[in-house]
Amino acid sequence: MNKHTSIDENSNSKDHLVIGVLAIQGGVLEHINHIKKLGYDAIEVKKIEDLEKIDGIILPGGESTAISKILRERNMLNPLAEAINKGLPAWGTCAGMILLAKEIEGEDACHLGVMDIRVKRNAYGSQLYSFVTLESIHEVCNEPLELIFIRAPYIVEVSKETKVIHKVGENIVAAKEKNILVTSFHPELSSSLEFHEYFIEKFVLGR
Ligand SMILES: NC(=O)CC[C@H](N)C(=O)O
């Protein structure tokens, strides 16, 4: 990635980092606002060329099948998978986690297929089963965090490469593998910026 050559020297965003948020559907603005509140630059990623401008990408929640369909129509599915395979830091929240997974329970095909996990979609049932819970995730911060689940998936199987970051009950709801972070829940919908800071510090700056 050589986007640093085009960055304005006078830009006052921290470390000249640009975080892309896949802007096809779902919670795009909420992620952008969280990143900006931390003092970093955030842009919407809508086409292949946008991938050249970013240091990391967030795949937001929404409807994974719809997002995947549009990615394919825009010929972005393979270039995005390739960029992530080559090391672009990526964080998938909810539908974003489904897009990144190599296996989806009960379905034949995956979407980007870049993270060695098996996920179960709508694992908690219908919309009625959306819920919020307060949990401590020591890897991320010392204070308890509000975890917001909306028609959420969870991870049913991980590989040796995957590190489980958090479980709610028996279910894996946050994990990482190389340059990829996934969460079943929506940190962009809570007022805390901790998860966004964690992604930037550990995955984007720390790579
Ligand atoms: N909040 C969400 O992102 C829901 C994900 C959605 N249920 C899906 O299967 O894609």
In the predicted structure, residue 145 carries a pLDDT above the cut 60: yes
DSSP per-residue codes, 90-134: EEEETHHHHHHEEEETT-S--SS--EEEEEETTTT-SGGG-EEEE
Examine the pLDDT at 1 and tell me if it is beyond 80: no
Residues 6+ apart with CB under 8 A from 99: 59, 64, 67, 68, 71, 92, 111, 112
The CB-side HSE value for 46 (13 A sphere, CA atoms) comes to 6
Q: Give the mutation target among 63, 148, 182 for probing the ligand 1 site: most ligand atoms within 8 A of CB.
A: 63
State the pLDDT confidence band at 3, using cuts at 50, 70 and 90.
low
Task: Work out the pLDDT band at 106, boundaries 50, 70, 90.
Answer: very high
Q: Closest ligand 1 atom to the C-alpha of 122?
A: 7
Does ligand 1 lie within 6 Å of residue 88's CB atom? no
Report which residue type is found at 106: G
What's the pTM value of the predicted model, to 2 decimals? 0.93
Q: Region 164-189: what's the mean pLDDT? A: 97
- Tell me the average pLDDT across 127-143: 90
Residue type, 196: H
**ipTM of the complex, rounded to two decimals:** 0.96
Q: What is 3-205's CATH superfamily?
A: Class I glutamine amidotransferase (GATase) domain (3.40.50.880)
Q: Would you say the CB of residue 173 lies under 6 angstroms from ligand 1?
A: no
Alpha carbons 86 and 109: distance in angstroms, whole number: 22
Reported as a pLDDT band with limits 50, 70 and 90, residue 5 is: very low
Ligand 1 nearest atom to the CA of residue 93, by list position: 3
Pull the structure tokens for residue 10.
């006078």
Give the mean pLDDT of 50-66: 97
